[in-house]
Structure formats: C-alpha cells, structure tokens
Amino acid sequence: MSINKQNFKRFDKQVNELLEKMTLKEKIGQLNQSSKAKNPEQQKKYEDMCRNGEMGSMILAATSTAGNTDEYKVYTEYYNEFQKIAVNESRLGIPLIFGRDVIHGHRTVFPIPLASACAFNPELVEKCYRAVAKEATAEGIHWTFSPMVDLTRDPRWGRIIEGPGEDPYVGARFAEAAVKGFQGSDEDDLANRDSLVACAKHYLGYGFSEGGRDYNTTDISGYTLQNCVLPAFRAAVNAGCATVMSSFNDINGVPVAASPYYINELLHGELGFEGFVVSDWGSIRQMIREGVARDLKECAELGIKSGVDMDMDLSCYADNLESLVNEGKLDVKYIDEAVRNVLRIKFACGLFDDPFREFVEIDKKPHIELAREIAGESMLLLKNSNNLLPLNKDEKIILAGPFSQERHSLKGSWSGDGEVSIITTMEEAITEVVDANGGSLVTVKNDIIYNKASLEFFKNDGVIVLALGEGSLVSGEANSIAEIEISENQVQLAKEAHASGKKVVGVIIGGRPLALQPIEPYLDAILYAWHCGTETAHAACDIIFGDVNPSGKSSVTFVKSTGHIPLYYNELLPAKKINSYYGTENVIRTTPGFSGYLDIPAVPMYPFGFGLSYTTFEISAPKVNTPSITVEKLKEGECIEVSVTVKNTGTRKGKETVQLYIHDIIASYIRPQKELKGFKKIELEAGEEKEITLPLGYDELGFFDERGNYLVEQGDIEIFVGDDCMTKNKTKITLL
C-alpha cells in the first residue's frame, strides 16, 4: 500500500490499549523530549526519568543552534543505555525515540537543500536522502528533524540554505522526495531499520521572518499562506511524513505553537496529518518572551491545547501539565490526544518490536558517488562568455580566491556530523585533473583577501580560476546578513584578474544566492557551486573540465543588489506597468507609471529556473490535447496534456529541464504573473529530439482563497513552456 494513504491510525488499537494502562505522569513523559545530558548530574536525572516513564524522546544535541557545530561522535551506545532503562526498567517499557538534526547529509554530506532543489530531479533527491537515512540509522538514530521546507523570498535569511527556495511547486516536489528518501516510499517501510522518521519543519511561515532576521515576527496573508507556504507541508504530509515541527515564529501576532487553528485545524484537520508535532527548541516557553503567556504553566497550556504534542527540551510540559490537569485547567483529553499521536509513530516505526540498535559499518562509497552526481546537477552555470568553459584538461590554471583551499565551508551549515577530512579542496580537485592530463596549476596560497603580492601570480600563463563566495558561518540558523553583495575584496581580486587580460572563471561557493552584479563584469564564466557538500570540488571540476554538462536551474531568484529584495518570480501582477519583473528591459526607467526603482534596473540578475548548459536546446511551441475543458471534468480527474518537442541543437549530450508555467488571465483574485506547475528533466544526445508531455489537472489549475477554499475558475489560462521563467513560448486553454 502506498505511504500516501497517511494511515498511521491503523495502529490505534495498540495505541489505545497502551494508553489505558498509562498514569498521567507516564502520559506526560511521552510528551517530553530531553536534550543530551550536559553533565553527570543531568545524566543521572535523565536515567531516573527513563526509569519512571518520564521521558519519551531524546534529541542528540546540547544546544539549540547545533546547525553550525561540528561533532563527529557516534552515539549508538549512548542511546542504548537510555533505551535499556526505558524498555527494561520502566513500568510499561515504552521505548524512547532518538532524534538528531540529520539535515542534508550525515557522514557523507549532500548539497544544501537550496542547491539540491536546483537539480530539478526529485528521483535523485530521493536516492540521496535514502543514502542519508542509511548512514544515520546505521548509528542508531531513529528520527531526523528534516526536511526543512520553509519557502522564503529573502536571501538575507541565513536559513535559506535549508529549504528548497522560493517556489511552492518545487518545494512540494522536494518535500515529497526527501520524505520518501528518509522513510521509504511504502508505509510499512517506516519499520525498517534503515528508515529514518522524517520531520517537516518549520510549520509554519518561518521563512517569512521579517527582513530576513532570524526568529523575527512574520506577517503573512492567508492568501500567501495557503498558496505559497502550505503546499510543501501538504506534500510532505501526503508523502507520509510522520512528524512535523512547529516553528518559532508567530503569524500575524499569533505564535504558531500557541495556535489551535494552524496546528489542530489546518495541519491535522485540513491536511489530514496523523503523526505528531514536536515543538522547536524551547518554543513553548518562549511564549513568555513573546508576551502571550505569564508563566511556564500558561505556556504549557497554550502549547498542548494548540496541538503541539512533544516539547523539545526545557521540560515545560514535564513540569507543568500535571498541575494544570489537577487544577482543572486542562482536560486530560488534550494529553491523551497528544500521547496517541506520539505512540502511533513509535508503533509505525517498529520501536516496540525492535528498540535497540547496534553500530553497523556501511559502505559509503556509493553515497559519495551519489553526492558527486547530485552536486553536479545542482550547480548553476550562470555565465559562459564565448564558451570559455569547459576548459581543456591540459590547461594551465592559476587558482586564487578565499575558497581555493577551503574544505569546511563546502559542507554548508547544518552538517555537523559530516566528515571534513574526506572533503577535497578546489586546489586538490583541480590538481587531480591537470596532473593526470598534462596540465598545470599554480595556486595563490592563503589568499584569504585580496592582496597585492598575490597578484604577481596573474602574470603566469593560463586561465585564472577564482574560488569566491561566502563561508558556511554566514548562513544557517541565527546567521542572517544585511548585505548579500559579494565582498569588496573579492570584487577587487576579480578586477585584477580581469585586468591581467586572461580569461577568468569564477567558481562561487555560497549558501545563498549572492548579489553578483558588482563582480559579474570581471568574470568570463560563472559557475555557482553553492555549498554542495562533501563532493563540491570534484563536482565543480567535473563541470569545469567538461566531464559533466551542467544542468542546474535556479530554484531561487538572484537579485542584483540587496535593495532588490524581495524579488521572486511568481509575484502578483502589480497595479501599474511593470519594470520590476522578469521580461522587461534591463534598463532604469525614469518615466512615471512604472513599478520599480529609479536607481537600478529591476530585472533580476538571474531569474528563477535559469541555468546554462554546454549545449543548446530548442523547445517547440506547446500543444495541448484539447483547447478547452470543463471544470467538472477536471474535478473528475481529467487533465489537459501539454506537449512540446525538445531538441538538443548543440554538439554535446546534455540535460534540459522543461518548465511549465501558467498564468490565469482573469480571476477573482490577482494571480501571479507566472506559476510553475510542472517540470521534467530529460537527457538528449546531440541532435536528438524527444516529445514530452506534462499534465495539467484540477490540482494545478486552481488556487486557494485566504480561508483555504480551493477555487478552479472558468476562463482563459496561458500556458508557458520553456527553459526558465522568462519564457514567452506559450499557448492558451479555456476552462469552461
């Protein structure tokens, strides 16, 4: 049976039988997640709690911002010690579930999610997350706090790295792929030892932190929430995601963790979620700070009544729920419901039958190969003047820039368990290629910043490769930045390189889409290599030297400058003529009546969906199997089929992502100028052509109003098919 059925309630008989035997204390214990013990006293306290049934879960982290902390320990024995006490010494023997932030890799690190979304290859993403699950479960981890599926429109926000970018459709496909990869694609897979319980986070709206400042308030209309923020969570839930993490933020003044509407009504009710909700780190007790609760007791009451089932760290539930019940302020039904949700997943993932784990040595070689493959598909070729790339392997290379010998940052944030020692630097990866092929490399050592002496190197013969960008400590949790321009000294370095008269390739390492306008003129080619994990440098060299034809397409808009933010492709039609959107001229408009800025051309630096290849593709005009269809027929499951012929018109084999966008011309609400509603990545030999068909059905052709009613309205809809969101290649259909 497909996991899409969301059938966790099938365990309710066992769950209810167990629930009946539980004391109030034991019930509350299941809702309490402790962090790793920080000292021997805490260790002893936690052991006693396990013995008394007062702990349901443990998160293997000691601080809330573990995302940027390297820690290479294996904890299998540590878990088992607690598990033995819980299973063998507690009255009911209910096993603990151990969670850890295994975000985009464990020992082998895959690209940051923002980058892997650019691969536009959900099947490959699923395979990678399967590999991640295998590595993490081999060490005894049951549960990961991933995937993060927060849509964001603000690249200043450090946590942009963790999510799939700005588009709800891409977000949904990424969410499904990651969940299936972690958990397996069949509902019974969750009980396999190599399945990792997934957690879609941060529910809800965290990516809209105002000004990109982490943990900030969010103000989101119901319309945006329904159409842009929710789809990835809906997809995760439909893919069988067993847990969801509530977010730190409020939405329009209501903390999500204190909102029965967002959790009970929307998540459990409308989305049909049957698993359990864990709070984010301390986000129950933070309600005091937010000024919606007087004390911890009120925090606990708000959280549990809203549907947050498990309290991550800080024992707010553990210390307060019992007295709330005893004082008559809390009906025990809220606790029972939460315990049911937790136990359901403990049964579903097989913990009662198989609570202990031993460390299993696994072969990571295939994972490293996969990491290289997806990194190669995630990187973006943004510029390639006169087909400078690919370089010949016997080329003379002059390598400079702050990331030429960097290892650690290539992993990206939230990869604390990733092994740094197995990461290759750009210098090492280029050396491997040129040494084996009669080329050469000189590296400007330790060139952390632009430095005059190092410029002497540019007098050598060859092509200059600059490894530029930003490190992993300026992205991730609590690491937002106010200006996303690439740093001045790097621009200066590129200027000097350019002034040498040699060809200059910029390989940009980054966790966010940096504003490249100041540096772009000095780079003949730009490969945006992101923080692509363990195999970043190898994958970049595969592209630079032509073993891999680049195929990444940006899942996020690249702005020209920080002041451009927010700029996203699926914005609603503005009231006056547009000079802020894709498709208008790259000039500054000074005439009145335009929506845009007076001091900057408002088209993006690189639009959503953009990425070059070493070959060229032609996409024919889209054809539809029928020019019109009734809304009733769509509702019954019929589709419009949109077909195009894609031809590789260049001289190399390559992959193209065909993207289908719609625009609802007249609707009861203003609709986005374009919305992605389908894509397909295909590989074609030089000269080869293929017809591909993408379906458009009921789910794609409508939208939600601010209250969550789904509307499919009669009228004309433009259908665009192209290689990025700027495409003008279109046809039209009519919904009757």
CA angle, 102 then 108 then 110, to 5°: 75
634 near ligand BGC, judged by CB under 6 A: no
Q: Which two tokens stand for residue 62?
A: 């000691």
Q: Which two tokens stand for residue 444?
A: 């400007």
Task: Name the minimum Å distance from CB 65 to ligand BGC.
Answer: 6
Query: Would you call 220 exposed, middle or buried from its count of C-beta atoms within 10 A (0-12, 13-18, 19+)?
Result: middle
What string of DSSP letters covers 390-416? SPPTT-EEEEESTTTT--HHHH-SS-T
Strand pairing class (463-469; 504-509): parallel
46 near ligand BGC, judged by CB under 6 A: no
Cα 683 to Cα 653: distance, rounded to the nearest angstrom:
7
The residue with tokens 């490249």 is: 516
Query: Would you call 386 exposed, middle or buried from its count of C-beta atoms within 10 A (0-12, 13-18, 19+)?
Result: exposed
Q: Which stretch binds ligand BGC (CB under 6 A): 64-72, 259-267, 578-586, 638-646?
A: 64-72
Residue from 11, 79, 129, 145 binding ligand BGC (CB under 6 A): 145
For residues 66 and 565, which CB has a smaller minimum distance to ligand BGC in the complex? 66
Task: Name the minimum Å distance from CB 354 to ligand BGC.
Answer: 25
Considering only residues 13-32, where is the footprint of ligand BGC by CB under 6 A?
none
Number of residues that bind ligand BGC (CB under 6 A): 11
Q: Which stretch binds ligand BGC (CB under 6 A): 63-71, 184-192, 397-405, 467-475?
A: 63-71
Cα 133 to Cα 122: distance, rounded to the nearest angstrom:
16
Considering only residues 440-479, where is the footprint of ligand BGC by CB under 6 A?
477
In the residue annotation, 354 being an active-site residue is answered as no
61 near ligand BGC, judged by CB under 6 A: yes
What string of DSSP letters covers 478-540? T---S--BPPHHHHHHHHHHHHTTS-EEEEEE-SS--B-TTTGGG-SEEEE--S-GGGHHHHH
Q: Which stretch binds ligand BGC (CB under 6 A): 57-65, 255-263, 405-413, 704-712?
A: 57-65
64 near ligand BGC, judged by CB under 6 A: yes
Task: Name the minimum Å distance from CB 458 to ligand BGC.
Answer: 43
Q: Which stretch binds ligand BGC (CB under 6 A): 58-66, 222-230, 296-304, 540-548?
A: 58-66
For residues 60 and 463, which CB has a smaller minimum distance to ligand BGC in the complex? 60
201 near ligand BGC, judged by CB under 6 A: yes
Cα 80 to Cα 139: distance, rounded to the nearest angstrom:
11
Task: Name the minimum Å distance from CB 713 to ligand BGC.
Answer: 38
Closest CA to 203 of 241, 247, 242, 159: 247
- Residue of closest CB approach to ligand BGC: 145
Task: Name the minimum Å distance from CB 59 to ligand BGC.
Answer: 6
Cα 558 to Cα 43: distance, rounded to the nearest angstrom:
48
Binding mask 677-716 for ligand BGC (x = CB under 6 A): ----------------------------------------
For residues 108 and 413, which CB has a smaller minimum distance to ligand BGC in the complex? 413
Active-site residue, from 101, 154, 250, 280: 280
Q: Is 72 helix (H, G, I), strand (E, B) or coil?
A: coil
Q: Which two tokens stand for residue 341?
A: 């949700």
Cα 52 to Cα 25: distance, rounded to the nearest angstrom:
9
Torsion of CA 223, 228, 230, 236, to 10 degrees: 160
Q: How many CB atoms lie within 10 A of CB 263?
A: 25
Task: Name the minimum Å distance from CB 695 to ligand BGC.
Answer: 35
For residues 162 and 723, which CB has a smaller minimum distance to ligand BGC in the complex? 162
For residues 150 and 675, which CB has a smaller minimum distance to ligand BGC in the complex? 150
Residues 6 or more apart whose CB falls under 8 angstroms from that of 559 comprise 155, 484, 513, 515, 565, 567, 604, 605
Q: Which two tokens stand for residue 298?
A: 């009120």
Binding mask 82-101 for ligand BGC (x = CB under 6 A): -------------------x
Under a CB-based contact definition with an 8 Å cutoff, are residues 131 and 138 in contact?
no
75 near ligand BGC, judged by CB under 6 A: no
For residues 68 and 306, which CB has a smaller minimum distance to ligand BGC in the complex? 68
Residue from 22, 31, 49, 66 binding ligand BGC (CB under 6 A): 66
Task: Name the minimum Å distance from CB 207 to ligand BGC.
Answer: 12
Considering only residues 313-342, where is the footprint of ligand BGC by CB under 6 A?
none
For residues 145 and 347, which CB has a smaller minimum distance to ligand BGC in the complex? 145
Indicate left, alpha or beta for 158 from its phi (over 0: left) and psi (-120 to 50: alpha): alpha
250 near ligand BGC, judged by CB under 6 A: no
Residue from 75, 281, 530, 594 binding ligand BGC (CB under 6 A): 281
Cα 630 to Cα 625: distance, rounded to the nearest angstrom:
14
The catalytic residue positions are: 280
Residues that bind ligand BGC (CB under 6 A): 59, 61, 64-66, 101, 145, 201, 280-281, 477
